């Protein structure tokens, strides 16, 4: 897994479906962070791919997180099957011809199953349309091609929607991600990073003859982080995703109390022993939060900014 901020989800649409086992081993070896599975029903988009049984089969083949991207007309009808199939996140389109009420219910089901619910926006839909749903979303997926087919050209004018999506999430300190999907490659990763993307979905660029998959994935992550550093980070390197930071060291009771207060803010907290038991005496506990939420946590809980050890 990369050390930086951006993460790559591989779309297998352009892979050899005759040998999914080999494809997945290859993607794992190349260091992809997640898999992005495109489900199409021939109604919502003019193309057909696969359904929940294939998702379940892929689940059995890998431990990588599975992002299921439903390009189907009736997400409410099939969501239970995709939950059972072992998805980690389920994202469907806001353009799906179902009522707002039904969409909210579908997102709620995904949340109840403790998976990440998401909505995708096609190029002609403004990000603003997501407003009524934002509280129920962990994922916003920005389409940079018309949904339906792999291998299309990245629509550059859609990139600012990534920042708009992040802004919509912003009041929430943790637990959301903006994905970008369609035509992402070494040529377009940087602009996605400039607008603050979290997850880059990469399909056909990974499956080109003569190209090294590992290098392609590393390049996409690197260039996205490069763009982030220049436009958002004011020259500072991004805070690595998936890293935890110590925000306090306290006696056990107090540490547990603090962790509960942190979690009330919507931030996950870990409590661990600061060292081994010495002559039966319990050591103090360290309290940790995701690095990306450190500043917020320290500010919100008035913990101060004393430098602590990184993990
Ligand atoms: C398009 C799909 C994408 C696509 C990605 O409808 O949602 O996931 O397959 O493939 P590339 O990277 O080739 O655009
Ligand atoms: Zn997709």
Give the phi and the psi of residue 202 in degrees, each rounded to 5: -125, 125
**What is the pTM for the complete model shown?**
0.94
Residue with tokens 């992040």: 166
pLDDT score at 34: 98
Torsion 96-149-159-221 (CA) sign: positive
Ranges of each domain in the chain: 7-231, 244-300
**Is the Cβ atom of 13 under 6 angstroms away from ligand 1?**
yes
Could you give the CA distance from residue 66 to residue 87 in angstroms, rounded to a whole number?
5
Alpha carbon distance 40, 37 (integer Å) = 10
Does residue 183 have its Cβ closer than 6 Å to ligand 1? yes
Query: Any idea which residue has 């909210």 for tokens?
Result: 104
Q: Hey, what are 297's tokens?
A: 């946590």
Same fold, 7-231 and 244-300: no
Ligand 1 atom having least distance to the Cα of 45:
6
Q: What is the pLDDT of residue 37?
A: 98
Dist CA 254 CA 102 (whole Å): 43
Of 67, 116, 138, 181, which is the active-site residue? 181
| Pocket-testing residue among 147, 181, 187, 197, ligand 1, by greatest number of atoms within 8 A of Cβ | 181
Please identify, by atom number, the ligand 1 atom nearest to the C-alpha of residue 36.
Answer: 8
- Please tell me the number of Cα atoms within 13 Å of 57 on its side-chain side: 10
Ligand 1: nearest atom to the Cα of 13: 9
| Per-position pLDDT tens, the chain of length 311 | 557 999 999 999 989 999 999 999 999 999 999 999 999 999 999 999 999 999 999 999 999 999 999 999 999 999 999 999 999 999 999 999 999 999 999 999 999 999 999 999 999 999 999 999 999 999 999 999 999 999 999 999 999 999 999 999 998 989 999 999 999 999 999 999 999 999 999 999 999 988 999 999 999 999 999 999 999 999 999 999 989 999 999 999 999 999 999 999 999 999 999 999 888 888 999 999 999 999 999 999 999 886 555 55
Has 181 been annotated as catalytic? yes
Q: Kindly tell me the burial class for residue 92, based on how many C-beta atoms sit within 10 Å of its own C-beta (0-12, 13-18, 19 or more).
A: buried
Given this model, what pLDDT does residue 3 score? 78
Contacts of 299 (CB under 8 A, 6+ apart): none
Q: Ligand 1 centre from 203 Cα, in Å?
A: 6
244-300: CATH architecture: 2-Layer Sandwich (3.30)
- Ligand 2 centre and the CA of 11: distance in Å? 7
Instruction: Quote the CA–CA distance of 35 and 23 in Å, as a whole number.
Output: 11
236: its two tokens: 């500072």
Would the CB of 229 count as within 6 Å of ligand 1?
no
Q: Is 181 in the pocket of ligand 1 (CB under 6 A)?
A: yes
Using a 6 Å cutoff on CB, does residue 11 contact ligand 1? yes
Q: 36: Cβ below 6 Å to ligand 1?
A: yes
Task: Note whether 146 and 122 are within 8 A (CB).
Answer: yes
Per CATH, which fold does 7-231 belong to?
TIM Barrel (3.20.20)
């Amino acid at each position: 897994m990369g050390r930086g901020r951006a993460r790559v989800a591989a779309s297998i649409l352009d892979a050899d479906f005759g040998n999914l086992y080999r494809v997945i081993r290859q993607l794992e070896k190349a260091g992809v962070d997640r898999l992005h599975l495109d489900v199409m029903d021939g109604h919502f988009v003019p193309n057909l791919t696969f359904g929940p049984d294939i998702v379940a089969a892929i689940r059995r083949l890998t431990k990588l997180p599975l992002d299921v991207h439903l390009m189907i007309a009736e997400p409410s009808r099939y969501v239970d099957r995709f939950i059972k199939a072992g998805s980690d996140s389920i994202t469907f389109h806001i353009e799906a011809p179902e009522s707002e009420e039904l969409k909210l219910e579908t997102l709620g089901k995904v949340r109840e199953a403790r998976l990440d619910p998401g909505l995708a926006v096609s190029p002609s839909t403004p990000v603003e349309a997501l407003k009524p749903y934002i509280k129920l979303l962990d994922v916003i997926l920005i389409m940079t091609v018309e949904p339906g087919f792999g291998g299309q050209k990245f629509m550059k004018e859609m990139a600012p929607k990534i920042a708009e999506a992040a802004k919509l999430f912003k009041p929430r300190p943790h637990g959301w991600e903006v994905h970008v999907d369609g035509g992402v490659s070494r040529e377009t990763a940087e602009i996605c990073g400039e607008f603050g993307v979290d997850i880059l979905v990469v399909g056909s660029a990974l499956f080109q003859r003569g190209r090294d998959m590992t290098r392609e994935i590393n390049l996409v992550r690197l260039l996205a982080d490069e763009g982030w550093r220049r436009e958002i980070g004011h020259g500072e390197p991004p805070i690595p995703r998936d890293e935890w930071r110590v925000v306090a060291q306290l006696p056990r009771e107090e540490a547990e109390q603090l962790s509960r207060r942190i979690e009330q803010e919507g931030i996950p907290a870990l409590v661990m022993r600061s060292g081994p038991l010495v002559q039966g005496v319990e050591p103090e506990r360290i309290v940790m939060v995701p690095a990306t939420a450190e500043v917020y946590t320290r500010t919100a809980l008035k913990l101060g900014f004393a430098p602590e050890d990184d993990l």
